[in-house]
Amino acid sequence: MKVKEILDRIEDISSFKRYGKVTRVVGLMIEARGPSTSIGDICYIHLRNGTVHIKAEVVGFKEEFVILMPYKDVRDISPGCIVETTSKPLQIKVGEALIGRVLDSLGQPLNGEELPKGLFNVSAEKDPPNPLERPTIREPIEVGVKTIDTLLTVGNGQRLGIFAGSGVGKSTLMGMIARNTNADLNVIALIGERGREVREFIEHDLGEEGLKNSIVIVATSDQPALMRIKGAYTATSIAEYFRNQGKNVMFMMDSVTRVAMAQREIGLAVGEPPTTKGYTPSVFATLPRLLERTGRNKRGSITAFYTVLVDGDDMNEPIADTVRGIVDGHIVLDRALANKGQYPAINVLKSISRVMSNIVTEEHKEKANRLRDLLSTYLEAEDLINIGAYKRGSSQKIDEAMTLYPEIISFLKQGTDEKIHLEESIEELNNLV
């Protein structure tokens, strides 16, 4: 850095601190008279005892008042508390030393340990890459789940949504992908999870082997809405750092729906009007900005899986519909298949990978389409077959589908601890069809 640039930066540094004072607390929001600050800046609210301060973020303005939302509970805040602005947005620390750790929404170790030294500061909120700087997706990435690798092949740098109701196997599928993928490392964001499920996911679904190559960011459902939002941004920033180091990152977020709900809470608190099913306009502005940050750039790639919790298994509810329009494909987990004991419960006929046709061979594409056709043919005639109204020989196509259906279902099933490489999966598909 040149001497002139250093001197310019020194001149830009403010030589005094800016303060304000809390005037009232309403629900999740804190109103303060002053200080002079901007949207997204971090402020410290100094409590009356003088020994503790609470971090808060500027989320809006109302006449001459600054509207803040705290990262922690508002119980100890009272009118008259001093508000000090840092004049900077949230910064987090990133580096290789974070691999294998579980962090909170602000990038601090969840177990209370100190962060290791040698980390770098990065902003939690960034703009998505320039569209013209995104290389085309040309090669597949192995996720180790047979159904996805063969019938919904994922490209290196692709973004997919996993759509499912509660209890259909989203977390189990994410754990399988994290353990089995050939990506350089995993970044996993657990947003709005129950406290009990966090350790269960880390120990059972992810496992010790999976955690060694992962960074997990946790924001549980009992935390303020702002912490849940920041968990999503922090996880994305960590993934972006490793992408810029030239790595292929596997990024998973569970779930986008709870991020949208947290943004709705903030929007309603600052006075936004509720629109579609109570979601505020800022929700539909936040989702594309967040989801577009992943993908490829000139240095590396982030292959992203975003889970969407669909209310009442309604795949057309507002958040599901919005996410489906942003990502490059969707995987639908079907409760009816889960009830039959088919795991992973992926409904192949309702799922699609939008880049698959560009990254697989013509033979692979032909075999995958053939299996889909056989499965569709059987399911269309299933009711007639079950009641005995169909007689063999009436349709050669249905006869073939009936013969192969048990083998197709066996092919679509996979044990949670079973790892199958991409080449093995494709060979098994070729042998089946």
Q: Which residue has the tokens 């209310």?
A: 311
CA dihedral 289, 294, 300, 303 (to 10 degrees): -170
d(CA 21, CA 15): 20
d(CA 427, CA 211): 30
Residue 139 C-alpha from the chain's centroid: 22
d(CA 251, CA 239): 7
Main-chain phi, psi angles of 245, to 5 degrees: -85, 0
Per-residue confidence (pLDDT) for residue 288, from 0 to 100: 94
Which domains, and CATH codes, for the chain?
A: 16-89 (2.40.30.20), 96-360 (3.40.50.12240), 363-432 (1.20.1270.330)
Using DSSP, state whether 331 is helix, strand or coil: strand
Question: Apex CA 125: angle with CA 120 and CA 130, to 5°?
Answer: 100
pLDDT in tens, the chain (433 residues): 566 566 656 555 555 677 889 998 887 788 998 788 888 899 999 887 766 788 899 988 888 889 998 888 777 788 888 898 988 888 999 999 999 999 999 999 988 888 888 899 999 888 898 899 899 999 999 999 999 999 999 999 999 999 998 888 888 899 999 999 999 999 999 999 888 888 888 888 888 888 999 999 999 988 889 999 999 999 999 999 999 999 999 999 988 999 999 999 988 888 888 887 889 999 999 999 999 999 999 999 999 999 998 876 677 789 999 999 999 999 999 988 998 888 899 999 999 999 999 999 999 999 999 999 999 999 998 888 888 888 888 889 999 999 999 999 999 999 988 889 999 999 999 998 8
Using DSSP, state whether 15 is helix, strand or coil: coil
Q: Report whether 88 contacts 63 (CB < 8 A).
A: no
Record the tokens describing residue 311, joined without a space: 């209310």
- Considering only CA atoms, which of 320, 188, 330 is closest in space to residue 260? 320
Helices 281-291 and 318-326 sit at what angle, rounded to 10 degrees?
Answer: 30
- Considering only CA atoms, which of 228, 207, 204 is closest in space to residue 217? 228
d(CA 405, CA 375): 7
Per-residue confidence (pLDDT) for residue 12, from 0 to 100: 52
- Reported pTM: 0.89
Per-residue confidence (pLDDT) for residue 8, from 0 to 100: 59
Helix (H) or strand (E) run with residue 53 in it: strand 53-62
- Considering only CA atoms, which of 318, 355, 313 is closest in space to residue 332? 313
d(CA 76, CA 70): 11
Residue 328 makes CB contacts below 8 A (sequence gap 6+) with 137, 155, 158, 159, 160, 353, 354, 355
| Residue 198: other Cβ atoms inside 10 A | 17
How many residues does this entry show for the chain?
433
d(CA 323, CA 202): 26
Main-chain phi, psi angles of 178, to 5 degrees: -60, -40
Main-chain phi, psi angles of 232, to 5 degrees: -65, -45
| Residue 284: other Cβ atoms inside 10 A | 16
